[in-house]
Chain A
Amino acid sequence: MGDVRNGIATRAGAMILAPVGWLANVFDAPLRMLQRRTGSNGMAVFFLAPNMLVFGIFVLFPLVINILYSMTGGGALFLGDRTFVGADQYGRLFSCGSYLDPKSCTEDLFWIAVWNTLAFVVLQVAMMVAVALVTALVLNRELRARSFWRAVFFFPVLLSPVVVGLIWRWILQRQGLLNLMVFEAGGTPVNWLVERNWAFTATIMVSVWAHVGFYALILLAGLQAIPKDLYEAAEMDGTRPLRVFWRITLPLLAPNLLVVLVLTLIRAVQIFDEVYVLTGGGPGTSTLFLTQYIYEVGFASMLRNPGLASAASILMGAVLVVLTLIQLGIARRNEQRGKMR
């Protein structure tokens, strides 16, 4: 039986791969000619070319001209049609009576977005790391069907941000499931997404819900790398679980926790998709975050200002570069420590 199934699988695989093999033969003759010119080592350039071309055109080139965009004004799209204004766009972003009071700024929306994002980052990252850590600790215990439970927490990670946003809009709406529970418990239903503070809380909760499984997995991998004999020794000494956690688990998990912390920071600064679908930045501007500000100024608003959008995106990019460098530094240190072990 198994042989028959294998036979079918092999034949099916061969049928799917037939055009692939044909493709290889068609390309082989011209590429051999190329190879005769470049030598076998020179073919490396050929193999690198497609990827680097795409990188160059769609990542590096935009990155460089982004700086030029941020120094030009007007509504024109192409760089050649735009007028040079120097640092005016940055000046506009930073012209404020007081940075703590967005109303006193020329670009009040930018500062509203900055402060909203900052509050979001602090609260969401703290909550994300805490929930991910607890989940990882729970999943690291001796469980029956551990892979099932791991999958449970991982499920929302795969959902698209639009789906996540719509699922929660449906649950948080006035006649939704959450209000049903509040109603059954004897409370008064709340219009979750219309009330400012609740809407802001919802963006944090929903983004934690959507991504916590991913970070829990990273932490779980870290927990499983901690040598078991440490725990056995602690058990023989009759150490209490909390003490084991503070003295063994936490110090040894610190590198992974740091990675998760920085990763969540990087993602939280750029938060857009699910919040945009969930609240659209509202009510008012209470859930307007930086990426949405850039999107609206650059593409959506009636008074489009690409230069201003790029200046704001460069400021955000600077923050992200610093965070990413920290992350890479940590990753390298962890790697070296791993080698020493």
Chain B
Amino acid sequence: MSRVAEFLFRRRGGAGWHWTDVFTWFWLIGGLIVMFGPALWLVNSSFKTPAALAEFPPTVLPYVTAEAIVEGYEEPLQLFEVRNDDGSVRVLAEVRRLGTVAQMVDPANPGEIIRVNIQNRTPKRSIAFALDNYVQPFLAFDFFLYLRNSVFVTVVATLITLLTNSMAAFALSKYNFRGRSAVMMLIVATLMVPLSVILVPLYSVISAMGLFNSLWGVILPTVATPTGVFMLRQYMLTIPDELIEAARMDKASEWQIYWRIILPLTAPALAVLAIFSVVWRWNDFLWPLIVLSRKEVYTLQVGLNTYAGELNVQWHYILAMTVVTMIPVVLVFIFLQRFITTGIAGSGLK
């Protein structure tokens, strides 16, 4: 034991433990628990049956109480392990309970009623994952529709964002024209206008265009991201102008220069913007909440919020669907978080 401890607490250069080292590890381990714990608990809970979810104190593993169909009874009966006076244990099914005495039957011999004091019995339970939580929302509710809507919004908005932002960034980095700095100022100014400030007029614009209750009404206002234009412009400024001059000599059109030279060279920045855009659009909530009022056009976020806001919250479904909603973002996190963290550290955008 002391060897293990010695190995674990050995420090480089034989230096001792300073209080800052203790604090560092306290913060890191605490952070690990606090940051991942809640999400893991949610995933864990999503595999429990409604009965198991209603239990307090909650168990860590998803248990279900065992039931059996007994001859002569219409409903399935709950099984209990009953301790006999001689210490042996047998499994009985409960017919009904009167005060502290339960009337039970042996499934093998359903004719005979046995009276048992409830202190002498424990529910028979087994571990089982309630996969129904995941299946039912797709079959009985509209979650498949919401999922499809969310995917559509995310993919289309990201593609349009990449195209329009890169075109604008190209114009702002590689051309000299009158009013260029004015355009830049205008884009900077829009950084100051968050959605929450223009909700009412934007809603009227969308309605006037007939885009209320349409996924396009969710997509279009989000695609001209100032941060995207900025980021791509910064990147394109590093591409040497000589490349463009050479292409012009070879009679390439401006469109070809943009499409065949600039875009491929901007690929790393485009990739970062694409990741950001996917996360942004997948997570959008306030604007879809306003534009989408019919269930057929709900995105996952809006649908989830609606079901969670109902008086009689069906937590077992909500939990499972929250996990489903989390999946794409968790995948992005696992595979691409290095891109994002370096992207943020470099540019300070989110």
Contacts and interface: CB of A to CB of B under 8 A. Distances in A.
A binds B: yes
Interface of A: 24, 27-28, 31-32, 35, 40-45, 47-48, 50-52, 54-55, 57-63, 65-66, 69, 77-79, 134-135, 138, 141, 143, 147, 149-163, 165-171, 175-177, 179-180, 183-184, 209, 213-214, 217-218, 220-221, 241, 259, 266, 270, 272-273, 276-277, 280, 291, 294-295, 298-299, 306, 309-310, 313-314, 316-317, 320-321, 324-325, 328
Chain A's interface: helix, strand, loop or mixed, by majority?
A: helix
28 contacts: A24-B260, A41-B176, A47-B167, A50-B167, A51-B167, A52-B168, A54-B221, A55-B224, A59-B193, A59-B221, A69-B201, A69-B204, A149-B31, A152-B36, A156-B35, A158-B279, A160-B285, A162-B285, A167-B38, A167-B42, A169-B308, A170-B319, A175-B56, A259-B348, A266-B194, A272-B196, A291-B286, A320-B192
B35 A155 contact: yes
B322 A166 contact: yes
B200 A69 contact: yes
Interface in B207-245: 207-208, 220-221, 223-224, 229
B163 interface: yes
A167 B221 CA distance: 29
Interface stretch (B64-72, B88-96, B125-133, B337-345): B337-345
A159 B337 CA distance: 13
Given A24-B256, A60-B190, A66-B198, A166 B308 contact: yes
Q: Interface residues of B: mostly helix, strand, loop or mixed?
A: helix
A35 B333 contact: no
Contact of A51 (B20, B32, B164, B304): B164
A138 B24 contact: yes
A43 B254 contact: yes
Given A153-B31, A154-B341, A65 B325 contact: no
Contacts of B204: 62, 65, 69, 77-79, 306
A168 B38 contact: yes
Given A54-B220, A277-B308, A59 B255 contact: no
B113 interface: no
Q: Which 8 A-B pairs have the closest CB atoms?
A: A160-B283, A44-B175, A51-B168, A62-B201, A47-B171, A317-B197, A54-B224, A221-B345
Contacts, number: 287
Contacts of A135: 27, 31
Interface stretch (B1-9, B116-124, B137-145, B181-189): B181-189
B141 to A, nearest CB: 16
B41 interface: yes
Nearest to A314: B197
Interface residues of B, number: 98
B274 interface: no
Nearest to B293: A299
Contact of A171 (B41, B172, B309, B344): B41
A162 B304 contact: yes
Contacts of A134: 27
Contacts of B14: none
Contact of B203 (A259, A298, A314, A320): A298
A161 B283 contact: yes
A134 B26 CA distance: 12
Contacts of B152: none
Contacts of A78: 204, 207-208
Contacts of A317: 192-193, 197
Given A57-B205, A60-B190, A294-B199, 13 more contacts: A28-B253, A51-B224, A54-B220, A66-B201, A160-B325, A162-B285, A165-B305, A175-B54, A175-B58, A183-B56, A217-B345, A280-B309, A309-B199
